[in-house]
């Protein structure tokens, strides 16, 4: 499935100080992770063992919020501040690792946690790659 991310980045009329393909990949991974985490939190709330999933739900929601915010900030380039983007990407790496680790604790019992853990790992990697490109 193609997303509008890269075509939108290609239409930006001025120079962007980042590799557009790497930036698009990070934005897409952030959006996918936010969606997976939101859906996983909701699925956890429907499980019979919901009390055992409290930390997973909280971590999912934190990760979804941070990833969604970061994707929005990275999609804006006018008046770009690399320090803000870098800080948000570092926060994403931290929260994606925490959420991926928490979901991994439940993946044997809940398929939604397996899918979410994979999305978190992919997003963590995409954010690390963009951070490396920014250095």
Residue numbers of the chain with a pLDDT score lower than 50:
none
* Residues 46, 13: Cα–Cα separation, whole Å: 46
Please report the pLDDT score of residue 1 as a whole number. 67
Q: Domain segments of the chain: what residues? A: 56-135
In the DSSP assignment, the letter for residue 17 is S
**70 with 34: CB under 8 angstroms?**
no
Please report the pLDDT score of residue 86 as a whole number. 96
pTM greater than 0.85 (yes/no): yes
Please report the pLDDT score of residue 17 as a whole number. 84
Please give the structure tokens belonging to residue 89: 């990407």
Please report the pLDDT score of residue 16 as a whole number. 87
């Amino acid at each position: 499935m193609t997303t509008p991310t890269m075509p939108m980045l290609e239409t930006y009329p001025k120079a962007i100080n980042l590799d557009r393909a790497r930036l698009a990949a990070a934005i897409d991974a952030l959006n996918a992770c936010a969606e997976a985490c939101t859906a996983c939190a909701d699925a956890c709330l429907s499980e019979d063992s919901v009390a055992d999933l409290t930390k997973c739900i909280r971590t999912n929601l934190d990760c979804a919020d941070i990833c969604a915010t970061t994707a929005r900030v990275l999609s804006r380039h006018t008046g770009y501040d690399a320090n803000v983007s870098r800080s948000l990407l570092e926060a994403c790496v931290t929260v994606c690792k925490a959420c991926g680790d928490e979901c991994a604790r439940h993946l044997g019992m809940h398929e939604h946690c397996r899918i979410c853990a994979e999305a978190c790992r992919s997003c963590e990697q995409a954010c690390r790659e963009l951070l490396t490109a920014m250095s």
